[in-house]
Structure 1
């Protein structure tokens, strides 16, 4: 749901009633991952997607039904061999969808909500979550998707400092347990489902929570203010990264050359990197292919717990760079983290094609893809990320 935060936040501010359908779990080949959402307002306007088109019509009807009844519902959609035209995922996957009716948390809307049977108690944490996500703040929204009927849809917003908005409606121990689990997922920047047993829930039976994490955009640091960097900045923004361009040469590191960048830094790359706190989602693209910049930068970058470090250059430059990095003390394990020459083999020539090859490698690295053609392959199209013991449906 938080992927629609900007628009849904406007709907809340306008006092509009709507229902939001959220993917809570997937099995097999499913086009959208947990957290993806479709929202429908009381006038029938719709935004978002839960399946890339396979079951949108049926989910739209579920949203309208939730608006009529004021009750949340959990529904499963899968492929039907008996009827190719039946509602289902023709790709063979299975998705679970949770639909929640929502009323904006204004005083007037709250009175109307109670009259219609919609929970204004649920609206408050949802509104806070949407506001946080729309403004780029970190927060985790936990909602009960399975459990006692009277608790379905109850929501709890948890912030990094432990403060909360809303509640799950059960014993205080349920809120405490849910908050701890939600903060753990938030720290990892993950969205997923988890089950809290009857003892932890303190309501006589287990409950299943969907926890959606809203975190600031992952960072892409592009070192080297060259034409290839300008193309990579555009692709990085398209993929949702917060993109920084860094170069020690002020004549090249300019807003005119990089209008799409979030930040342009004029500094020695290694010195700027030393000043940054990066998380495990960050990607570093070194396009300078100049030893006086590359070596001190990569010496630091390859020792950071970031997602990706790639460096541009020919194969001869790569071999020379590797030896220089060995000479400054990097181990073979550290050197093996370097993706160089940067990008996948697409036969790229232009800056735009090269940027695409770099972005493709970043996505493959993030999702566990091979980079091989899907035609004739027998590998999964959608790669499932590792799932920790005790939690299900978790995604990066």
Structure 2
């Protein structure tokens, strides 16, 4: 429900009755991931999507039925070879959808309301619901926050709530949404109860080093992809809020010094657009030794070779250097800053999910990835080269 949490929180505030359908499991080629949701209120207004259009009509009807009878439902939609025009996913996959009534007075409404508020405000939290098991447990909800506090109950044995909190905490720590099979008494025995754990964590960071036109375009693209975007440059005349209004942060500091003191994690993306050895060599020396998701650097192939030589002299190993994506981005033939930002974003996405970066035409790989992050390297391409930075003037921060 993350994609429509803000709108649903508003519906709660207005006192509307509604039902929400959430994708809880997918297999094969399916257009939406677990957590995608469609909601319908008592007046028939609908928001969100669970399939990109394939089964929306049938899910809409299920939501109306849930509002009418007050009961949750679980429905599976798949492709039928006998009747390709029947309700189903013509793309060949299957989706399982949990429909939960959230009317005024519904037992799960207070917990879902708290979850929607937490999701809409950007807090880290996990909403646990029963999707398979005893009928009386379906649709029950438990909210687990990152500080370990919780709200609600799944309605079964006390052990079920306990293990649900443990599983939610583990998935929350990984930032993952998914299902967990346990027994009704709370032990790990498949075939008893299936829990759907929907997690919302702080957005991953994208740190863009170098306040250039390419950075402005990349900031917009990164924000669109859901990153918390920071621009860092040592020159205050260029690193301004006016030049980067869509950035979450604009920092004036030497890049390597800022990187050493700011928070990063395994989802962080570092894009080095400085294109100047005095900035990017000390920065990359630190970045390539950090457990981040992606490190890319802009520059011509000649600049890249010179950069590698300097980094080897600084003591980086070949294994560490192999993590560097340079020249940054996939080979799209990009020319403009916006096209270059698209090529960089494409490489980041391909790296995250193990994509090849090849045209889908003629390939037989699954169209919708599994969501696994892999170590597979996408093909490295080229990106237009930014002009080299001028030397740091007296107005810039001094070298530490």
TM-score under structure 1 normalisation?
0.92
Q: Residue 60 of structure 1 aligns to a residue in which SS?
A: helix
Does residue 210 (structure 1) correspond to residue 196 (structure 2)? The answer is yes
C-alpha distance in structure 2 between counterparts of 1:137 and 1:45, whole Å:
27
Pairwise CA RMSD: 1.6
Shift of residue 372, structure 1, vs aligned partner = 0.1
Shift of residue 203, structure 1, vs aligned partner = 12
User: Who is 2:32 aligned against?
Assistant: 32
Does residue 222 (structure 1) correspond to residue 195 (structure 2)? The answer is no
Shift of residue 2, structure 1, vs aligned partner = 2.2
Shift of residue 85, structure 1, vs aligned partner = 1.3
Q: Residue 246 of structure 2 aligns to a residue in which SS?
A: coil
User: Who is 1:248 aligned against?
Assistant: 234
Where do residues 180-329 of structure 1 align in structure 2 (5 Å cutoff)? 180-200=166-186, 206-329=192-315
C-alpha distance in structure 1 between counterparts of 2:183 and 2:296, whole Å:
44
C-alpha distance in structure 2 between counterparts of 1:259 and 1:12, whole Å:
32
Say if 2:37 and 2:50, in contact at 8 Å, map to a contact too.
Answer: yes
More moved, 319-328 vs 184-193: 319-328
C-alpha distance in structure 2 between counterparts of 1:263 and 1:346, whole Å:
29
C-alpha distance in structure 1 between counterparts of 2:188 and 2:156, whole Å:
7
How many corresponding residue pairs? 373
What stretches of structure 1 move > 4 A for 4+ residues in a row?
201-205
C-alpha distance in structure 2 between counterparts of 1:363 and 1:294, whole Å:
23
C-alpha distance in structure 1 between counterparts of 2:159 and 2:58, whole Å:
37
C-alpha distance in structure 1 between counterparts of 2:286 and 2:158, whole Å:
46
Shift of residue 204, structure 1, vs aligned partner = 12
Does residue 135 (structure 1) correspond to residue 148 (structure 2)? The answer is no
Q: Residue 369 of structure 1 aligns to a residue in which SS?
A: coil
| CA shift in 2, pair 1:316/1:363, >3 Å | same
Q: Residue 111 of structure 2 aligns to a residue in which SS?
A: helix
- Bigger share in helix: 1
Task: Point out where structure 2 has 5 or more consecutive residues left out of the alignment.
Answer: 374-400
Task: Point out where structure 1 has 5 or more consecutive residues left out of the alignment.
Answer: 104-108, 114-118, 388-396
User: Who is 1:21 aligned against?
Assistant: 21
Does residue 368 (structure 1) correspond to residue 376 (structure 2)? The answer is no
| CA shift in 2, pair 1:68/1:290, >3 Å | same
Shift of residue 205, structure 1, vs aligned partner = 7.2
C-alpha distance in structure 2 between counterparts of 1:211 and 1:202, whole Å:
15
Q: Residue 200 of structure 1 aligns to a residue in which SS?
A: coil
C-alpha distance in structure 2 between counterparts of 1:180 and 1:323, whole Å:
48
